[in-house]
Structure 1
Amino acid sequence: MNFYMVISARKIKQYGLIVFTALFTAWFLFVQNILHAPVFSTPDGPKAVYKGENNIALTFNIGWGDEQARPILETLKQQNVKSATFFLSGAWAERHPDIVAGIVKEGYEIGLLGYAYKDYTNMKDEEISKDISKAQTVFKKLNVKNIELLRAPTGHFDKRLLKISERFGYTVVHWSIDSKDWTNPGIDKIIENVDQAEKGDIILLHASDSAKQTKNALPQLLEELRSKNLRFMSVSEMISNSSARSNEIK
């Protein structure tokens, strides 16, 4: 009887270890899924890019307002930042053609942020296509050419957008580092959020009027990134010069 109890105890420990390992693995995969949940791909189909391999990409979303965009452009110029990508909503660009022209003049890349800044996951396929087409028309009128990138207006999207964007000839771009500047958490917090960036990261920033602290955070933020020997690139440059990473969620 004693020998039987010893064997049973050993088996219980072995089974416990197996169960623990399985639970830990499941938890790890669950966390990974959460971390990359906004980034989708279709099997053997289009993918959303959220990271590259070399250097770093600054991206700025603009959906409304004209008070923050100009100062941010001026700060980038003063800091000698030659490459950045601005995702603009068509409705905003329509109202502020002079700022759009300033972005183009400085040589920065422009990507689409839809037209009406609506959540694509709450829209039908034909509504999404119509919104993208409307944004296209605006930028054609503004003589902005060679737009290759699309970002979901609210950051939320599903596999439908990947297929729709492919039909339009766009690459969907997400991000790997979120500055959370639109929450106005304080200059130090914005810098802290971005300071974790490393080679290949795509950083989300905003130049809309809701992001009131971004301009003041930029100088130190840029200094911190440069101290890591990171060079600023547009998203298109990053995609063309490295293997872009995407995450598949089935």
Structure 2
Amino acid sequence: MRRLYVIDMKKQKKAFIIIPIALFVALFLFLESNYTPTVFSNQENPRALNTGSSQNASVALTFNISHGNEQVLPILERLKSEGVRATFFVSGEWAERHPDILEKIAENEHEIGMLGYQYKSYVDQEIEEVRKDLQKAKDTFSKLGYENVYLLRAPNGHLNEEIINVAEKEGLKVIHWSVNPNDWKNPGTEKITNHILNNLNNGDIILLHASDTVKQTEKALEIVIPEIKKDKKLLTISELITLAETSQEELKSKKK
């Protein structure tokens, strides 16, 4: 006995409309939460650095600090015990309040970058306010004895082309990231560890935090660092940039 199936074309049309919209929304939300600009700037296309060279087995550990003074110290001790140098992005306000800790970071041969002066989203400000914040941050680090700070990570990672242009005119190189375990949410040591190790590739820049809201990062580093060191080098951002630029030059030479 044959069965007759009747297709409701109105429902089909609705499905054809709803499904693409749903996919678009899902893609938009994914891109918003995983924004990772591509590699190097040029005059036509200003960009932030979010990875180094995939040709080199090396990655960079980076830490943001905008408040507090308790969690950064055990993190520094963990890095010291593992013989690892990292890049610390700190706000100018934090640097003024904790010059002794900033000095300790420098004494341990870690690289210092800036999060601007105030930790306030740049996309929520007029571009002239952004410029003033960058200039104030540069002046602050200079007065504290750190005149060569040239790496910038935008507060909250919020960027657009205009912000990158302004930063570069101030002599700054904008740094983003490619691996973000959201350790500031304290999702659990295992989740932080697994996210990093399961998503790590050559040239990646790992975003972590050392502000007081972070409670599980130091324990995660105890597991993560030895695992990374099995097949990759841990470098500062400047070292990663040098390797990436060298690799690009080598590729250009081969093409010639």
TM exceeding 0.5: yes
Distance 1:180 1:33, change over 3 A: closer
Are residues 1:56 and 2:34 paired? no
Matches of 1:116 and 1:43, distance apart in 2:
28
Aligned partner (choices 79, 83, 86) of residue 84 of structure 1: 86
**Alpha-carbon deviation of 1:161?**
0.9
Alignment of 1:112-123 (within 5 A): 112-123=114-125
Are residues 1:199 and 2:197 paired? no
**Alpha-carbon deviation of 1:204?**
0.1
- Summarize deviations over 1:196-234 as a string: whole Å, max 9, x none: 21210000000001111111111101112112x110111
Aligned partner (choices 231, 238, 245) of residue 233 of structure 2: 231
Partner of 1:44: 44
**Alpha-carbon deviation of 1:38?**
4.6
What runs of 5+ residues in structure 1 fail to find an aligned partner?
1-22, 246-250
Matches of 2:177 and 2:75, distance apart in 1:
20
C-alpha contact 2:48 2:176 (8 A) present in aligned 1:
yes
C-alpha contact 1:39 1:50 (8 A) present in aligned 2:
yes
C-alpha contact 1:52 1:200 (8 A) present in aligned 2:
yes
C-alpha contact 1:39 1:49 (8 A) present in aligned 2:
yes
Q: Name the amino acid aligned to 1:80.
A: G
**Alpha-carbon deviation of 1:154?**
1.1
Query: Higher mean Cα deviation, 142-151 or 185-194?
Result: 142-151
Q: Cα RMSD between the aligned structures? A: 2.3
Is the partner of 2:155 in helix, strand or coil? coil
**Alpha-carbon deviation of 1:35?**
7.4
Matches of 1:128 and 1:180, distance apart in 2:
25
Identity of matched residues, %: 43
Distance 1:166 1:36, change over 3 A: same
Q: Name the amino acid aligned to 1:79.
A: E
Matches of 1:170 and 1:190, distance apart in 2:
30
Q: Name the amino acid aligned to 1:233.
A: L
Partner of 2:9: none
**Alpha-carbon deviation of 1:145?**
2.8
What runs of 5+ residues in structure 2 fail to find an aligned partner?
1-19, 249-256
Partner of 2:6: none
Partner of 2:68: 65
Partner of 1:19: none
C-alpha contact 1:47 1:171 (8 A) present in aligned 2:
no
C-alpha contact 2:151 2:172 (8 A) present in aligned 1:
yes
The list of structure 1 runs, each at least 4 consecutive aligned residues, that deviate by more than 4 angstroms after superposition, is 30-36, 40-43
**Alpha-carbon deviation of 1:46?**
2.6
Alignment of 1:134-145 (within 5 A): 134-145=136-147
C-alpha contact 2:115 2:154 (8 A) present in aligned 1:
yes
**Alpha-carbon deviation of 1:42?**
7.5
- Summarize deviations over 1:63-97 as a string: whole Å, max 9, x none: 0000101111111001111x211000000010000
Matches of 1:34 and 1:220, distance apart in 2:
29
Matches of 2:172 and 2:190, distance apart in 1:
35
Aligned partner (choices 126, 149, 152) of residue 151 of structure 2: 149
Matches of 2:236 and 2:143, distance apart in 1:
23
- Summarize deviations over 1:49-75 as a string: whole Å, max 9, x none: 000113000000000000101111111
Partner of 1:240: 242
Is the partner of 1:49 in helix, strand or coil? coil
Q: Relative contact order (alpha carbons < 8 A, sep ≥ 6): 1 or 2 greater?
A: 1
Is the partner of 1:237 in helix, strand or coil? helix
C-alpha contact 2:36 2:178 (8 A) present in aligned 1:
no
